[in-house]
Amino acid sequence: MNVPRLSRRFEDALVFAARLHAGDIRKGTSIPYLVHVLGTASLAQIREKFGNAVAEIVRGCTDTDETPKPPWRARKEAYVRHIQDASASIRLVSTSDKLHNARAILSDYRVVGEALWSRFKGGKEGTLWYYRTLVDAFYKAGNTPLVEELDRVVSEVERLEARG
């Protein structure tokens, strides 16, 4: 089997993220944040270290860089509108990011049930709305196997939630 090697640039990015997020964990879990590397990294540091193209992808996958953050629902609605017209690279990374999140939600829901929703600012209703609306936005921008997989995972979360 011919397994592609990671590029030196990718390895540098991974090491950078590991140092930046050392000790961080995912919300409500004991999972290291490194598995979700794009969350809190500084855009200026990314631009300096990896260039404008990578920085623009990261910026395009972030719902806000404002402090304090605008209200949750308004941020999510703006992000959904943005993603429909975003570049293919931004959509690819964003879909991958949301798929990873949705898989974590599905896995955690199977373990902790309803208690899961207290982790999210949007609660159960808002979080389910956000992921379904994102799936629809990704489909409008173009059907890909990643979008289909995200749809399957989100649908499974919705089915489990409906059964309660």
pLDDT one-digit tens code per residue, 75-112: 999 999 999 999 999 999 999 999 999 999 999 999 99
Q: What's the token pair of residue 164?
A: 């309660």
Structure token digits, residue 63: 């719902």
Q: Is residue 95 within 8 Å of 147, Cβ to Cβ?
A: yes
Strand intervals (E) in the chain = none
Contact 26, 36 (CB under 8 A): yes
Residue 37's pLDDT is: 56
Structure pTM? 0.76
Break the chain into its structural domains and give their ranges. Answer: 8-163
Residue closest to 91 by CA, chosen among 40, 144, 133: 144
Q: What is the pLDDT of residue 15?
A: 82
User: Which residues in the chain show pLDDT less than 70?
Assistant: 1-6, 26-31, 33-41
User: Out of 3.40.50.300, 1.20.120.80, 1.10.3210.10, 1.10.20.60, which CATH number does the structure's domain 8-163 have?
Assistant: 1.10.3210.10
